[in-house]
Amino acid sequence: MSSQQSLGSIDASRVPRYCGPATFARLPGIDEVGRADVAIVGVPFDTGVSYRPGARFGPGHVRAASKLLRPYNPALDVHPFAVHQVADAGDIAVNPFDIDEAVATIESEARGWLAKGTRLLTIGGDHTIALPLLRAVAAQHGPVAVVHFDAHLDTWDTYFGARFTHGTPFRRAAEEGLLDPRRCLHVGVRGPLYSSDDLRSDECLGFQVVHADDYQYEGVVQVVERIRRRLGTGPVYVSVDIDVLDPAFAPGTGTPESGGLSSRELLATLRGLVGLDIVGADIVEVSPAYDHAEITGIAAAHTAYELLSVLACNRAAAAGHALPRAEKVRP
């Protein structure tokens, strides 16, 4: 879709950034454009958290922090809002008292969007929401690869006997056959575990691990190469828990762990996903009550912007345009 056809964000030279709609990057709402190639959808749900609550307020917080985003991404040489139609589809209203019902509602709503040919970039909410989103994506594409950015594995079995929590979505997804076990990996894992069995169990589910320390010893370029080799060809789902970042870059989250990625490392890694068949993505666990000076919200907004830019590059390539230069794709 050309820049003349696509309705993008508001011109900041005419309307100050602190004015305008409360949509992501001041993009049009879905009601203004009718349909979208990519929809930004919020899921204000945090009933699955095990420690600090507040991620239900994440979607609004990330939207507020996105007002400074601009329409051209020089790192990837792309106009992410002009190449394809991106719109803010608002929030999915879910039951905060019933996790089973909430999971079913999210899956149903996601299936509806995907049936229209719209790809979703979902803003949570806690990581519980990844399971129903993966159910919807796998129903359309079959088992998918998952690249999961997180301080934690999120493949534990239960918490207090509950099967659906923010620490269990990828175990449930693996058990349900939603994942391609040859192509999944976690990125940024660090910190204490319950036991060494956690890693063994995780490997049996089909995940490889890129530890946060690997960035120090290998650097972004080699990490990106490892990620791309693992993901290979076929549909890929990207899930970003904002606590993959060190608390210095993302204090506003429910389960912070020291020693994480920098914002620069995360954004550079996401740019390295250009050319992969990304069929959906989420950004979760932004908890604004702990976020002074919008540090976490800004990081999450830029994370969403890079993912939208990657999707735009892929769409441009599908239309016959060249991908960004290799040094831009793989920093």
Please indicate, yes or no, if residue 4 is contained in any of the structural domains: no
Please indicate, yes or no, if residue 309 is contained in any of the structural domains: yes
Total domain count, the chain: 1
How is the beta sheet containing 235-241 ordered, strand by strand?
Answer: 86-91, 38-43, 119-124, 277-284, 235-241, 145-149, 184-189, 207-211
65, 159, 172, 256, 258 from 192: Cα distances, Å? 31, 17, 22, 12, 10
Average pLDDT value for residue range 56-73? 97
Report d(CA 331, CA 314) in Å as an integer. Answer: 17
Report d(CA 303, CA 283) in Å as an integer. Answer: 8
Here the CATH number for the domain that contains residue 82 is 3.40.800.10
Nearest to 282 by CA among 248, 244, 240, 247: 240
Average pLDDT, the chain: 94
Distant-in-sequence, close-in-space partners of 236: CB < 8 Å, separation ≥ 6: 144, 145, 146, 147, 183, 273, 276, 277, 278, 279
Percent of the chain whose pLDDT exceeds 90: 88
Please indicate, yes or no, if residue 2 is contained in any of the structural domains: no
**Residue 7, SS3 per DSSP:** coil
Q: Residue 4: what pLDDT?
A: 39
Report d(CA 270, CA 106) in Å as an integer. Answer: 25
Percent of the chain whose pLDDT exceeds 70: 95
pLDDT for 200 beyond 80: yes
Please indicate, yes or no, if residue 228 is contained in any of the structural domains: yes
Report d(CA 94, CA 59) in Å as an integer. Answer: 13
Amino acid letter, residue 175: E
Please indicate, yes or no, if residue 278 is contained in any of the structural domains: yes
Please write the tens of the pLDDT for every residue from 98-136.
999 999 999 999 999 999 999 999 999 999 999 999 999
pLDDT for 143 beyond 70: yes
pLDDT for 297 beyond 60: yes
Q: Residue 328: what pLDDT?
A: 54
Of 17-21, 81-85, 153-157, 308-312, which gets the smallest average pLDDT?
A: 17-21
Domain range for 52 is 24-329
Please indicate, yes or no, if residue 10 is contained in any of the structural domains: no
Please indicate, yes or no, if residue 16 is contained in any of the structural domains: no
Of 140-149, 182-191, 318-327, which gets the smallest average pLDDT?
A: 318-327
pLDDT for 1 beyond 60: no
Judge contact between 321 and 85, C-beta under 8 A. no
pLDDT band at 331 (very low <50, low <70, confident <90, very high): very low
Please indicate, yes or no, if residue 3 is contained in any of the structural domains: no
Please write the tens of the pLDDT for every residue from 243-266.
999 999 999 999 999 999 999 999
- Number of other CB atoms surrounding residue 37 within 10 Å: 18
Q: What is the DSSP letter of 233?
A: S
